[in-house]
Structures are given as structure tokens and as C-alpha cells.
């Protein structure tokens, strides 16, 4: 079922957690709310679930307005960051909770619990207490418990936040597969861009209580809407310069500028969008090799440039071997693609 939030404003005392945020989450999608801590992503999730009440704005589930509905009446499955399992109940009793409070017949509850236990691969652990489970197992119990009453949508707050790297990666793939099976509209909050890019159908990037960009993982990655988005996604070099008319100059480098406005600007270039060579070509940066690191199939080369300082370039180890570059060598770096943003964008440029 689709979720729509209109003009949500939520303040905690002086702190504005959400400022006039509007968003629509299409039915059946798996959407990531991505942003740093304090960006408002968790607050938005909790407002949708009714765990927080916004000062302004309206929330819809499908075509029904739920702005003032009680938490129970919304029929939303919620997975809490630290799971919030009922410590005194077994795994099976935790999963059954949402059904037994609705006074469902025992036989029906048992069938549903057994089905969900199998789905989250915990059938053998049904009589354990939460304190006897690992972090990943608790996470799966929390998910099964949220799914048991057949919620209209599923909301997950930092679902993998408290787990170690290997379990995280496993659960990510598992959640994606589960979503492909169930097709339940799902929204999860994360501060990990890799997680969002890998798992989500659509990413909503938030910062300071505002939406910076909404798009598919590729759109967000390839065409970041603001300097914040590309910085938050990480791995970009920054070249300082200025734009004027239809072009920007960044040291000896000239890049096209299609946006509105003039002034001081930054060009963001990802490590793998810089190419290294030995022969001088026009539109390039002359650099000195500072450090070479080989990591599996890729290599990371740190170079220094007179104006722009240190830049990090990523290339394949094969290409590095062809170039035969070592520390202290002089080389040429060319830019494949760059994202240029004004330091002080005019207000109209913010979002289209």
C-alpha cells in the first residue's frame, strides 16, 4: 500500500527534525531513507508509524488519512533499531503476540507462527528466549513479529545498525529477497550509503530535516542533486574553482556548467572518474604520485596537485601495471565526469 506524507514539520523544542517534508512511497517498493544522524530520517519513519506526532502535515496510507489515527489502528509493522523483543517471551510467543492480542484462534496463530519461523529460518529456535539469540537472529525474530499480523506496510529503523559487518551483508541480501517474495511496501532507515544503494529500489536522501534528493540508486549515484548528496555518498575528490556563464574553471581544468548562477564552486570527481596517464593531453591535471595501494583487484593511488592538493584515484591493478607508476613519478590525470555545484546555490536551484 502506498504511503504519502504531506508538509510534515516536526520540532523537538528548538531543534527542527523535519521541515515541511513531503514524500510519496509507491506501493510495493523497498525504499531507503538515507542521511547522517540528525537528518530527520528516523523521525520521518516514526511520524508515519504514529510513534511521534508531527506539529504540521498529514500522513496517508493508501487513500486513507491516518494523521490522527492511533498506533494500533494504522496496521503498520515496525522493526525497532534495537529490536525491542519481549524479553520474557520465547521466539514463538514474540511472533504470536500481534495475533494473540487480536484474539485469533489458537490453531490459526500456530500455523502462522510456524510459517513465519520457517521464512526467517528460526524453526529450531522457537522455544528460546531473546537473551539466548545472536544479534542477527534477534533481528529476524523482530521482522517475523512485525510481519505476523499482516501489516499494510513495513517500517524498519536502522535494521542492520547493531550487527557486525558479515552478518549485515548477509541480512541485507536476505531482506532484499524477502521483499521480492512478499512485495510489501517497505521503508528502512540507514546512514550507510552502501546499504541503501545495494538494497533499495529508491533512495530518499535527507539532511537537516529536508529531502535533498529522491531517486533510484543509480540516479542518486550518477546524478547527485547537491554537493551534500555526493559528499555523503563518499569517495569524491573536491576541486575548488569558480563558474561563470556556461563554464567553470578549476585551476588549469575547464568544465562545462549548465546550472544557473555564477560564483565560487566545487567540482566533485570520484576516484574512478579520474584517469591516469603519462602523456600530456589538453584538459588535464599534472600530478605527482604520492602513494600506491593495491587492494585486491583495484589499486588506489594518492597523487598531489599544485592547486588542488591530494587527490585519490582508483584504477584496476592491470592498468596500474601497464603504467608502471611508482612513488615520486610525475603523471597526468584526466577527468571523465564531474559534478559541479555552487558554494552558495541560489534558492530556486535547490530542488526541481
Instruction: Say whether residue 188 binds other proteins (CB under 8 A).
Output: no
Binding mask 20-59 for other proteins (x = CB under 8 A): -----------------------------x-x--------
- Spatial distance between the Cα atoms of 188 and 129, rounded to a whole number of angstroms: 26
Give the whole-angstrom CA distance, residue 233 versus residue 192: 9
Q: What share of the chain is helix, strand, coil (3-state, %, to 5)?
A: 30, 35, 35
> Least distance (Å) from other proteins to the CB of residue 130?
5
Q: Which is nearer to other proteins, 49 or 301 (CB)?
A: 49
| Interaction between residue 246 and other proteins (CB under 8 A) | no
The CB-of-58 to other proteins minimum distance in angstroms stands at: 20
Smallest gap from Cβ 48 to other proteins, in A, equals 11
How far is Cα of residue 271 from the mean position of the Cα atoms in its chain? 20
Binding window for other proteins (CB under 8 A); candidates: 15-23, 106-114, 140-148, 337-345 = 140-148
Choose between 145 and 266: whose C-beta lies nearer to other proteins: 145
The pair phi, psi for residue 344, each rounded to 5°, is -120, 85
User: How near is the Cβ of 112 to other proteins at its closest, in Å?
Assistant: 13
Q: What residues does 330 pair with on adjacent strands?
A: 288
Helices within 75-134 (DSSP H only)? 91-100, 106-119
CA distances to 14, 39, 60, 200, 306 from 21, rounded to whole Å, are 18, 12, 14, 20, 43
- C-alpha 52/C-alpha 45 separation (Å) is 9
Q: Is 261 in the site for other proteins (CB under 8 A)?
A: no
Note whether 149 binds other proteins by CB under 8 A.
yes
Identify the residue among 60, 80, 174, 221 touching other proteins (CB under 8 A): 80
**Beta pairing class for 253-256 and 247-250:** antiparallel
The Cα-based distances of 161 to 170, 196, 307 in angstroms read: 13, 13, 39
Query: Among 61-69, 79-87, 202-210, 293-301, which window interacts with other proteins (CB under 8 A)?
Result: 79-87
Q: In what order do the strands lie in the sheet with 185-190?
A: 76-79, 153-157, 185-190, 30-34, 202-207, 210-215
Task: Among 35, 40, 77, 241, indicate the residue that binds other proteins (CB under 8 A).
Answer: 77
Tell me how far apart the alpha carbons of residues 32 and 42 are, in angstroms, rounded to a whole number.
11
Q: Is 10 in the site for other proteins (CB under 8 A)?
A: no
The yes or no reply on residue 131 touching other proteins (CB under 8 A) is yes
**Contact between 130 and other proteins (CB under 8 A)?**
yes
Q: Work out whether 337 is an interface residue with other proteins (CB under 8 A).
A: no
**Could you say which residues in the range 263-322 bind other proteins, by CB under 8 A?**
none
Residue ranges that bind other proteins, judged by CB under 8 A: 49, 51, 70-72, 74-78, 80, 82, 84-89, 97-98, 101-102, 129-131, 138, 145-146, 148-149
Amino acid at each position: 500500500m502506498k504511503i504519502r506524507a504531506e508538509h510534515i514539520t516536526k520540532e523537538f523544542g528548538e531543534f527542527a527534525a523535519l521541515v515541511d517534508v513531503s514524500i510519496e512511497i509507491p506501493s510495493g517498493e523497498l525504499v531507503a531513507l538515507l542521511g547522517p544522524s540528525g537528518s530527520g530520517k528516523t523521525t520521518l519513519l516514526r511520524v508515519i508509524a504514529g510513534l511521534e506526532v508531527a506539529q504540521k502535515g498529514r500522513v496517508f496510507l493508501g487513500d486513507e488519512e491516518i494523521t490522527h489515527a492511533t498506533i494500533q489502528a494504522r496496521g503498520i509493522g515496525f522493526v525497532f533499531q534495537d529490536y525491542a523483543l519481549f524479553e520474557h517471551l520465547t521466539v514463538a510467543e514474540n511472533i504470536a503476540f500481534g495475533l494473540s492480542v487480536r484474539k485469533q484462534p489458537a490453531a490459526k496463530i500456530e500455523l502462522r507462527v510456524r510459517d513465519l519461523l520457517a521464512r526467517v529460518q528460526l524453526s529450531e529456535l522457537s522455544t528460546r528466549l531473546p537473551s539466548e539469540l545472536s544479534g542477527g537472529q534477534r533481528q529476524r525474530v523482530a521482522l517475523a513479529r512485525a510481519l505476523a499480523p499482516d501489516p499494510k506496510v513495513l517500517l524498519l529503523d536502522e535494521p542492520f545498525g547493531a550487527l557486525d559487518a558479515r552478518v549485515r551483508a548477509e541480512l541485507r541480501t536476505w531482506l532484499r529477497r524477502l521483499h521480492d517474495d512478499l512485495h510489501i511496501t517497505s521503508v528502512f532507515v540507514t546512514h550507510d550509503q552502501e546499504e541503501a544503494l545495494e538494497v533499495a529500489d529508491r533512495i530518499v536522501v535527507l539532511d537537516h530535516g529536508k529531502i535533498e534528493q529522491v531517486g533510484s540508486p543509480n540516479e542518486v549515484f550518477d546524478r547527485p542533486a547537491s554537493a551534500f548528496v555526493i559528499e555523503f555518498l563518499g569517495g569524491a575528490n573536491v576541486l575548488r574553482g569558480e563558474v561563470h556563464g556556461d563554464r567553470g574553471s578549476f585551476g588549469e581544468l575547464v568544465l562545462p556548467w549548465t546550472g544557473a548562477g555564477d560564483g565560487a564552486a566545487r567540482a566533485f570527481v570520484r576516484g574512478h572518474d579520474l584517469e591516469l596517464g603519462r602523456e600530456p593531453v589538453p584538459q588535464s591535471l599534472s600530478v605527482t604520485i604520492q602513494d600506491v595501494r593495491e587492494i585486491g583487484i583495484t589499486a588506489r593511488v594518492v597523487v598531489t596537485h599544485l592547486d588542488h592538493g591530494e587527490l585519490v584515484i582508483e584504477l584496476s591493478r592491470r592498468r596500474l601495471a601497464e603504467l608502471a607508476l611508482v612513488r615520486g613519478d610525475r603523471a597526468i590525470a584526466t577527468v571523465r565526469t564531474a559534478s559541479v555545484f555552487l558554494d552558495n546555490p541560489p534558492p530556486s536551484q535547490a530542488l526541481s
